[in-house]
A and B are shown apart, each in its own frame.
Chain A
Amino acid sequence: MAGTQRIARTLRGPRLSSWLVAVPVLIFLILPTLIIVPISFTPVDHLQFPPQSLSLRWYEELFQQAGWLDAALFSLKIALIVAPVATIVGGLGALAVVRGALPHASLVTGLLAAPLIVPAIIYAIAVLLFLGPLHLTGTLPGFVLAHAAIAVPYPYIVVSAALYRYDADLDLAAMSCGASRLRTLWHVTLPNIAASVFTGLLLAFLTSFDDATISFFISSVSEESLPRKMFDNIEFAISPVLAAVATLLTLVTLCGVGLAIGVQVVSSRRRRVRITEEVEMA
């Protein structure tokens, strides 16, 4: 933060003119998502902006109409299984890559992060072909398996970044005091990188919960995720009920991003306090 302030003073250049572009761009980024919110409270059955009066009609509809709640719970169930699994598996992978003496480390890193770069459409069709013969399309295990593969790189990357920053001498100190490796990991390393592990968990959750491309292919008529049901409804009708769904989804994201930023801020503040103490002690 202090660094930013110094840059702010030294990056000379057209300051006002950059904001003349920046503010409209920020509005462009945020507005489409926000415009959904008032529309979802309209009492009429077409999209109206601004709404003439407010009602919860479409939220009631949402809970009464068959399918929405089921789809939401189905998506939630998938994401709640995928997020911890991806975090544990990805976190262990990060430990191996950062701490382990791996030959061809950069190749391994690339292979582990590949699902982020391979176009989602390719994986979606590939996984459809893969799950089909196993009779797993449109099932909870099928979704979990498909989502685990695309979610796992996020905790892996976030945790390995944290491990690179982490001072491994702390582990050394713990182990020379007689702590086992597992105890050291659990009581020393993990508390220090907890914020990043949590961020990884959130990113894995959102990756699964928001996935539309893979869901589009592996949903069935009876078992479909929330994004798939939205997809179908966008194509067939523009009803305010979708605005209500979108508002709720945005709320979920807002909470997630807010939590992640909050945890990062708190942990970086703690880190700074610790560094200040160390400096004062020295």
Chain B
Amino acid sequence: MAAAQAGRGSRSARVYGPSLTAVCLAPMTVLLGVLFYLPVGAFLARSFLVDGFSTDVYADLASRPIFLLIFLRTFRTGIIVTLVALVLAYPLAYAMARARPIVAGVATAIVLLPLWTSVLVRSYAWTVLLDDRGVINDILVGSGLLHAPLRILYTETAVWIGMVHILLPLMVLPIYSALRAIPTDLPQAASGLGASPRAVLRHVVLPLSLPGVFAGVVIVFISALGFFVTPAILGGPKTLMISTLITQQATSLLDWPVASAIALVLLVITMAIVMAVGRSLSIERLLSI
């Protein structure tokens, strides 16, 4: 009897009934429903609403080679940025996972600070560094290493540098958290059985950290596909990306159906990637909570 009561009591304390659940969920559902899903849905629906329902816009989209070119460029940028970020992030995450707590803490703070610094501030910082008369060129030309300044700003290279810098924390944090989650006795056992340090890294640590690598790669890649601020500031006319293309179509040409169609394609690609990896993507891990 007492056990049954305790059981019922624990149920009601831990688990909310349907009405309480609904009350708690209602504000967020209304907020996102009205302010997020409704506007996004309405915008995306525009691509099908040209003189009644039609899919002509998509045929139009496919017939313009410049659009394909911009999509390909965006993907190439995404791939390059993701690979560079991975190559830079893994050794850092590895070193952090092996460091003393205080060192790891300082390194984590250094990774978190840029993550939460305005994207605009960071992009601006890169214009200051990369400009023809910017800090880097000042040093290179001033020291006599170069005769003429390097033209980096407003090129694709500038966009890549800026994007790697901005997305790097999103690669470091999931890898770091995956490396920390490796049960300590596994590498120990491997080396106890005579594996060389390199073999432990290659056959034990690396495979076990792959979920983190995976999460980082996905989040960096999909973020890169939709980047707007950095390409707009660091890039030039020759570095048009999907997001700048959508903006151009929407605000300069006022071609809402085309803007909407490109946005839908971008969203479908993004969602397909997220769905494909599904559960292995832990958002908590990304926020490093």
Contacts and interface: CB of A to CB of B under 8 A. Distances in A.
Interface of A: 1, 3-8, 10-15, 17-22, 25-26, 28-30, 32-33, 35-36, 39, 46-47, 49, 88-90, 92-93, 95-97, 99-102, 106, 108, 111-127, 129-130, 145-146, 148-150, 152, 154, 156-158, 161, 168-169, 171-172, 174-176, 181, 184, 196, 199, 203, 206, 209-210, 212-213, 216-217, 227, 230-231, 234-235, 238, 242-243, 246, 249-250, 253-254, 256-257, 261
A125 B279 CA distance: 29
Given A5-B101, A112-B28, A156-B28, A14 B284 contact: no
B14 A250 contact: no
B184 A25 contact: no
B49 interface: no
Given A4-B101, A12-B187, A175-B13, 7 more contacts: A21-B95, A96-B21, A99-B15, A100-B21, A157-B287, A172-B13, A238-B128
A17 B94 CA distance: 11
B289 A21 contact: no
Given A18-B95, A18-B98, A32 B32 contact: no
Contact of A152 (B31, B101, B165): B31
Contact of B274 (A111, A117, A243): A117
A126 B43 contact: yes
Nearest to A129: B43
Given A6-B184, A213-B228, A246-B121, A168 B101 contact: no
A86 B222 CA distance: 25
B25 A29 contact: no
Interface in B247-286: 247, 250-251, 256, 259, 263, 266-267, 270-271, 274, 279, 283-284
A281 B60 CA distance: 73
A154 B288 CA distance: 12
15 contacts: A10-B191, A11-B187, A11-B200, A12-B187, A18-B91, A25-B88, A32-B165, A46-B133, A93-B27, A119-B263, A126-B40, A172-B14, A175-B12, A176-B9, A213-B228
Nearest to A4: B101
Contacts of A19: 95
**Which of A17, A199, A242 has the most chain B CB within a 10 Å cutoff?**
A242
Interface string B102-131: 001001011111101111111111111101
Given A7-B98, A212-B120, A39 B24 contact: no
Nearest to A12: B197
Contacts of A106: 279
Contacts of A246: 118, 121, 124-125
A121 B287 CA distance: 21
B32 A112 contact: yes
B158 interface: no
Nearest to B260: A125
A230 B119 CA distance: 11
User: On chain B, which size bracket covers the interface?
Assistant: 35 or more
A25 B92 contact: yes
**Which of B121, B122, B250 has the most chain A CB within a 10 Å cutoff?**
B121
Contacts of A35: 125, 128-129, 135
A210 B120 CA distance: 8
B198 A96 contact: no
A104 to B, nearest CB: 12
Q: Which 10 A-B pairs have the closest CB atoms?
A: A119-B226, A100-B21, A93-B28, A130-B39, A96-B24, A126-B43, A21-B91, A96-B25, A22-B95, A13-B201
A30 B110 contact: yes
B55 interface: no
Contact of A3 (B124, B180, B185, B267): B180
Contacts of A89: 27-28, 31
B109 A235 contact: no
B81 interface: no
A47 B186 CA distance: 53
B209 to A, nearest CB: 10
Contacts of A181: 20
Contacts of A213: 228-229
B61 interface: no
B121 A13 contact: no
B10 interface: yes
A11 B125 CA distance: 37
A125 B259 contact: yes
B213 interface: no
B220 to A, nearest CB: 13
Nearest to B118: A210
B169 interface: yes
A101 B15 contact: yes
B97 interface: yes
A11 B117 contact: no
Nearest to B91: A21
B79 interface: no
A156 B165 CA distance: 27
A206 B117 CA distance: 8
A256 B186 CA distance: 38
Given A47-B134, A122-B43, A158-B287, A15 B98 contact: yes
Given A119-B243, A253-B117, A175 B31 contact: no
Contacts of A90: 28
